[in-house]
Amino acid sequence: MIRLEKIEDENGLDEVRKMFREYLEELNENLCFQSTEEELVSSEIKFYDILREKLGEKEAETFMQVLDETVQRKVDSAKSNLATKEDLHQTKIDLIKRVFAFWITLLLMIAGLYLKK
């Protein structure tokens, strides 16, 4: 059952952003054409404004910098696990070589059995 709640503070908004990003990741599709990141960025600007009001400008900037650095580290870490076009190309070449070697071996085995008679 779906339950709707009014978000009263920034913690609730952060939780919504987190759930939304997890949902986008589960889709396994690129939705960049739908401007989802731009919408989240505008929310981050609102988040900064709220922090500035509650903590002060310097503390809000420091917090946002730490947050950006943390996010960037996580993105860089995730990127290092992804295959590049060169990786995929090399894998394709290796696969072709192995399949070719398999078929040559199979043909030699069949020829050996045929000549054995």
Is the model more confident about 38 or about 17?
A: 17
Q: Which domain holds residue 98?
A: 83-117
* Chain centroid to CA 7: 27
* Per-residue pLDDT reduced to its tens digit, 32-65: 545 555 555 556 667 667 777 777 788 878 877 8
- Tell me how many domains the chain contains: 2
Query: Quick one: average pLDDT of 81-89?
Result: 84
Q: How far apart are CA 25 and CA 3, in angstroms?
A: 23
pLDDT at 93 over 80: yes
Look at residue 1 and tell me if it is in a domain: no
The reply to whether 50 and 107 lie within a common domain is no
The reply to whether 13 and 28 lie within a common domain is yes
Q: How far apart are CA 103 and CA 110, in angstroms?
A: 10
The reply to whether 19 and 71 lie within a common domain is yes
In this structure, are residues 7 and 13 in contact, taking their beta carbons and an 8 Å threshold?
yes
CA dihedral 64, 79, 23, 31 (to 10 degrees): 100
